Structure formats: C-alpha cells, structure tokens
C-alpha cells in the first residue's frame, strides 16, 4: 500500500535545525555540484545522520548508517507517493517492497546473477565496442578529439542493453533521450516541466516495449525478454513486464555510460595508474570499482521510514524521508583508508555502496563490471591511451558523471 510522507510542523523543524546546524545549512547544490564534496565530508564527521530542511527529510552520509537504512531488515519502504523514482519511471521492482517486489524482480534475476557473465557475454561486449569504434569518423580514428559520451559510451550502453535483453533499440539517441528525461525528473527542483517530459517519455517507451513483447512471442529467441514474455508462470501482465524492462534499461544505460566515462576520467588524471592498467588489463577491474567508489553513477538513494527507527543514534519517526548520499558513504574514512585518493589496487573498493545494498541492490552488477572493462579495453586496443581534451567535472544530484568529455586517441599500442 502506497503511503504519504508525513508533514513536519514548524516547531519540530525548528528544533531539528537547532540540533543539526550543519544539516540545516546544507543546500541541494552541496549534493549536486562538483567541488562541494568536502561539505559532505565535514558533515559526515559531525552529523552522519542529519536533518536537511532543503531536502525535506534526513540525510545519511556515513557508510555504517547507510547500510542500516538499506538493510533488508530495516523498517524502511519505497512505497511512498513522494518517491521521485516512482513518479519518473512508474511502479516497478525498485518502487515496491515485499511480495510485489519479489514477483517483479524474480523473473529477471537468474540471467543477471550468473557469475560467469563475462564468459557468456564477453565476446558480444567486445564485438559491439569494436563496431562502434569502427563507426567513428576517420579524424577520430586518426587521433582527433571526439565526444566520448555521445559517440561511444551512450550508444554502447543502449545497444548492449538491447542486445542482451533482446530488444530492438537501434534509435540510440531516442532511447538515451528517454532516460535523460527520466533522470532529470528525479531532481528536487520543484519545477514541474521535467516530470511532464518524463511522463511523455514513459508513455512512448512503454508503447515500444509492449510491441517488443508481442514480437518476442511471434518469434521466440534465447533473449531475456523472450524468456519472460513466453513464460506465464510469473503471473505478470505485459504492462508489468514493460515496467520492469524500463527500470532494467535505466540501470543498464545510466550506470554503464557513467562507469565507462568516470573510469576513463579518473585514469586520465592519474597517468601512472592508467599506464599500469593499460599494461596489465587485470587491473581494469580494480580501476572501475575504485572509480565507482569515488564517482558513484547513482549517487543518491531514497527511503522512507515504515515505522519509527533509530539510525546511528538518531530517532526518526515513521513515514519520514531518509536520503542516502552514496557519494559521501563511499568516502567514509572509517572504511576506506585515505578515501579521497584514487587507488586502482584498493582492496576493498568493491565494498562501496555504488550498486546499493540489500533488497534493492543492483540486478546487473556483474554485467556492469564486464561491460565497463570490455568497453575500455576495446578503446585502448584500437585507439591507445585516451587523452582528455575537454571535460567538465563529474557532477549530479542523483546520477553523477561528466556532462562533457572529449577525448583523443594517442595511437594503438
């Protein structure tokens, strides 16, 4: 049952502002803009669970407290009217709990959970990456700058998602545009226009996905979509299946784009580690884990209290909003030595919360790792080291990556 977030009266708000002065001064820009990460680091040291009036709820910045919030046993819920993910992407596995969540996630779980995913899909990942590199113009192949996001990371993420799911997503710009609209609607700006665009994008994408389900029944294949479309035992309607595909695609597209770009961005800023990873591709796994720790593609997670709960010593009443800053939790010095340092050999980088934790942990984490390594290896094999010619620092409230990153290949090895 979807609940409504509790309203906090002026007296309670004033008392909380007095108790949590640092949180009271925090702005959404502190959670969004590049160069403001130190504000979250200072907050975590003094108020790891704080009241943030501009967010309209509580903010968690320590890793231990974040794990408490995301734990399967925590009295937390996502079934709330104010859930920005629900409002943008609709009702699906990420916005439901309990039996509904299990029923929606279970049909898709086995193919993504398989740990030999790199063996099963490695050749297809590499082939697509090389095909996209072949499609670059002669100037880019000769070492002229090109837009890494638009020319490679975005179409790679969209086309790979379509190939693995068995969906015809050849109009990559249109699909990527849908997901930009979804992501933009998950901001706490108060502007209704992004939600209007997300509603339009959701309707168009749903129509496309419903037609894909019908096609999968006419011509069954070994794809994930064909499997769920032709299996009536899960009891999900086509609208429900389309809703799950929407969110799976969101993770597959947004996370992969960001992982590829963020990893290459940080490696370019640390040339000695970049050279080590280019010489020993086995280090790519550690490089991408460390990049996701420092620049999490999904940098903010929403929850609400289903009942009153104490989080890291702070009492939070029922039906109140609790936001987890993945960006801050991943920089917690209690868990990561010298946390601001980029280190591709860090032994516990994979213990970040970049794939979330608990019931709603990322379904495709193993595939994301394989795709990120495969894409970067292909770029290096064909273009050599990628020199960053122009970029903006990674930023974003809910999703974090460089909005512009132009690179130039320095020649194949």
Q: Where are the domains of the chain?
A: 10-409
Across the range 75-101, mean pLDDT stands at 93
End-to-end CA distance of the chain: 57
Residue with tokens 């919360």: 353
Assess whether pLDDT exceeds 90 at residue 57: yes
Average pLDDT, the chain: 94
Query: Cβ(301)–Cβ(70) under 8 Å?
Result: yes
Across the range 230-258, mean pLDDT stands at 93
The CA distance from 269 to 338, in Å, is: 17
Output the pLDDT for position 29.
96
The CA distance from 87 to 82, in Å, is: 7
> Running DSSP on this structure, what letter comes out for residue 95?
G
Of the pLDDT bands very low, low, confident and very high (cuts 50, 70, 90), residue 374 is very high
Assess whether pLDDT exceeds 90 at residue 120: no
The CA distance from 390 to 45, in Å, is: 34
The backbone torsions φ and ψ at residue 105, rounded to the nearest 5 degrees and listed phi first, read -85, -35
At the top level of CATH, the class of 10-409 is mainly alpha
Across the range 48-74, mean pLDDT stands at 97
Coil/strand/helix, residue 211: helix
Assess whether pLDDT exceeds 70 at residue 116: no
Which of 2-11, 72-81, 102-111 is predicted with the least confidence, judged by mean pLDDT? 102-111
Output the pLDDT for position 24.
98
Q: Write out the E strands in 45-131.
A: 49-52, 57-60, 76-77
Where on the phi/psi map is residue 310: left (φ > 0), alpha (ψ -120 to 50), or beta? beta
Across the range 21-39, mean pLDDT stands at 97
Query: Which DSSP string do the residues of 83-117 spell out, in sequence order?
Result: -HHHHHH-SSGGG--HHHHHHHHHHHHHHHH-TTH
Assess whether pLDDT exceeds 70 at residue 115: no
> Running DSSP on this structure, what letter comes out for residue 213?
H
Of the pLDDT bands very low, low, confident and very high (cuts 50, 70, 90), residue 114 is low
Output the pLDDT for position 16.
98
The CA distance from 43 to 51, in Å, is: 11
Across the range 10-38, mean pLDDT stands at 97
Which percentage of the chain shows pLDDT scores above 70?
Answer: 98
The CA distance from 269 to 279, in Å, is: 17
The CA distance from 95 to 89, in Å, is: 9
CA dihedral 334, 335, 336, 338 (to 10 degrees): 10
Assess whether pLDDT exceeds 60 at residue 412: no
Beta bridge partners of 408: 387
Q: What is the pLDDT of residues 167-225, one digit of tens each?
A: 888 888 899 899 889 988 888 777 789 899 999 999 999 999 999 999 999 999 888 89
Q: Write out the E strands in 109-268.
A: 146-147
- Specify the DSSP element, H or E, that contains 298: none
| Beta strand pairing call for 314-316 and 309-311 | antiparallel
Assess whether pLDDT exceeds 50 at residue 268: yes
The CA distance from 292 to 258, in Å, is: 9
The CA distance from 84 to 68, in Å, is: 21
Across the range 93-111, mean pLDDT stands at 91
Output the pLDDT for position 413.
42
The CA distance from 93 to 304, in Å, is: 16
- Packed helices 284-294 and 365-383: angle between N→C axes, nearest 10 degrees: 110
Q: What is the pLDDT of residues 131-166, one digit of tens each?
A: 999 999 999 999 999 999 999 999 999 999 998 888
Query: Cβ(153)–Cβ(128) under 8 Å?
Result: no
Beta bridge partners of 324: 60, 301
Tokens at 209, concatenated: 């996905």
Query: Cβ(391)–Cβ(405) under 8 Å?
Result: yes
Which of 82-91, 112-121, 251-260 is predicted with the least confidence, judged by mean pLDDT? 112-121
Output the pLDDT for position 122.
87
């Amino acid at each position: 049952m979807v609940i409504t977030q509790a309203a906090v009266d002026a007296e309670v708000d004033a008392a909380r502002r007095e108790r949590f002065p640092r949180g009271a001064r925090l702005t959404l820009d502190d959670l969004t803009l590049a160069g403001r990460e130190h504000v979250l680091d200072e907050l975590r040291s003094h108020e790891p669970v704080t009241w943030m009036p501009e967010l309209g709820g509580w903010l968690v910045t320590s890793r231990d407290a974040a794990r408490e919030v995301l734990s399967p046993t925590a009295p937390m819920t996502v079934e709330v009217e104010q859930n920005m993910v629900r409002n943008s992407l609709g009702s699906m596995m990420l916005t439901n709990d309990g039996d509904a969540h299990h029923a929606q996630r279970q049909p898709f779980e086995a193919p993504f959970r398989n740990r030999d995913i790199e063996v099963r899909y490695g050749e297809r990942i590499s082939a697509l990456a090389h095909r996209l590199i072949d499609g670059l113009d002669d100037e880019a192949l000769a070492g002229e700058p090109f837009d890494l996001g638009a020319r490679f990371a975005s179409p790679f993420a969209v086309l790979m998602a379509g190939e693995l799911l068995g969906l015809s997503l050849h109009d990559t710009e249109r699909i990527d545009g849908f997901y930009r609209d979804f992501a933009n609607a998950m901001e706490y700006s108060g502007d209704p226009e992004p939600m209007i665009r997300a509603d339009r994008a959701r309707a168009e994408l749903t129509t496309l996905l419903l037609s894909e389900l019908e096609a999968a029944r006419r011509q069954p294949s070994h794809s994930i979509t064909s499997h769920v479309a032709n299996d009536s035992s899960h009891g999900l309607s086509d609208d429900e299946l389309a809703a799950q595909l929407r969110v799976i695609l969101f993770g597959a597209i947004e996370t992969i784009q960001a992982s590829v770009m963020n990893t290459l961005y940080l490696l370019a800023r640390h040339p000695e580690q970049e050279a080590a990873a280019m010489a020993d591709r086995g280090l790519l796994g550690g490089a991408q884990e460390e990049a996701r720790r420092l620049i999490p593609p999904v940098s903010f997670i929403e929850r609400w209290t289903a009942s009153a709960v104490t989080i890291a010593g702070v009492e939070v009443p029922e039906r109140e909003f609790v936001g987890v800053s993945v960006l801050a939790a991943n920089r917690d010095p209690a868990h990561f030595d010298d946390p601001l340092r980029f280190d591709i050999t860090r032994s516990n980088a994979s213990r970040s919360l970049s794939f979330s934790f608990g019931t709603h942990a990322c379904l495709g984490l193993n595939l994301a790792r394989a795709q990120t390594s495969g894409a970067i290896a292909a770029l290096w094999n064909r273009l050599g080291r990628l020199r960053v010619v122009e970029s903006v620092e990674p930023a974003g409230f809910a999703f974090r990556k460089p909005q512009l990153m132009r690179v130039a290949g320095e020649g194949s090895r």
